[in-house]
Amino acid sequence: MRRFKQGAALAVATVAALAGTFAAGSPAMAASSPVAACGGGSYHVIDKHDLGKATVYLLYNGTTNCVVTWKDSPNSTFVLAEVLKRGGNLLTDSGNYSTYAGPVKVSARGECIAWGGIYGSTQWGSPWSHCG
């Protein structure tokens, strides 16, 4: 009987540990807007481009540019957000996300950036812009 109780206790402890692991690995709640996706605060939309069923947003907070590609309605279509500072590395986030791709951020005060996004097979990228 004692062996059964120890085995049962071990099984319960294992299940509890695994449940905690899965709960900790659960995705965070999605942001409610492009501003919230970038972290809220002083971010504001300075430019955007319509992709048909999604919009690529460029936000800025005085030092950092943030790009989010936001879907008009939740679905599993591939989506991508990207930003590039002149002379820097291309930063991207992509996947079959439900609501949006991003945020991708680059600190580029006083420097030119290129930014863009993809929704399904529709893609768009800016020329060098927002150089101030």
Q: Each residue of 73-120: pLDDT tens digit?
A: 999 999 999 999 999 999 999 999 999 999 999 999 899 999 999 999
Q: Under CATH, to which class is 34-125 assigned?
A: mainly beta
The more confident residue out of 3 and 54 is 54
In the chain, what are the domain boundaries? 34-125
pTM surpassing 0.85? no
- Coil, helix or strand at residue 39: coil
Asked if residues 106 and 83 have their Cβ atoms less than 8 Å apart, the reply is yes
Asked if residues 83 and 93 have their Cβ atoms less than 8 Å apart, the reply is no
Q: Each residue of 8-48: pLDDT tens digit?
A: 333 333 333 333 333 333 234 678 999 999 999 899 999 99
